[in-house]
Structure 1
């Protein structure tokens, strides 16, 4: 039952992740205005936002204007649902650990799709991942691995800063030449 619940919850979270992936890089709010068709702008009804099923029922088209709806929407929903179900299967005790795994999974999915589209990882999401990782270390390994968690976080941040600095150097040099 937990695996099924994990899939349903994951699909719903995946539907919200589609909003995050679409709006966050544009600097738009992820809560307002409500979901709408990107072509005709019509506000989506409750039936339009049923994860995966609505895309199948309306054959991948907007029910209001008939514009095609990207297959990425049900893909993100199904991927999130599948990974949540897998996590529930591997961690059959519904505790804080499972919730943390689900949160981290959702975060990584959002970051992955934003990176695919825009080649950027928003600071708000990456810092959120850092906070989740440190929270997990604090809950399950404190005090033994707390120092290791901080050292790992700082090493990863330093490595990412080096990669980012090198990329900026290469990109600037390539743009001027």
Structure 2
């Protein structure tokens, strides 16, 4: 014989909406795992019975949850659980991917099918007359100066000055 007390949480009843929702979510999720073939109708029936038992047992008396909120929570739980347990349809093309011995072939990694092009600082300019323009400085590519992350030209020393913080030495 199974004793109910062995499966009851010995702590206090939920005393806020959040803890009440958490208790209901935990109960519904755990119970849904016991269903052999969880359908929309079975999940809905399971959720209704869990909510009804918790209400009749007085577990939600201190949570301040209204019946309207409980109906919204039921709908949300049902939607989430149906989404978790929905069965994917087998497409005809998937059957062709199996080998003669019935073992599925491994899919080729997507990275091996894509061409990648180098980008960023490795790329060089085609013409020495091209110029790179930034909000703070213009650099002739022939001089091959670089900008540090703050936007200051790296080969020019920065000296303290009385200029505003937006001005950079040129």
| TM-score, with structure 2 as normaliser | 0.30
Q: Which has the larger radius of gyration?
A: 2
TM-score normalised by L of structure 1: 0.29
Structure showing greater relative contact order (alpha-carbon pairs closer than 8 Å, 6 or more residues apart): 1
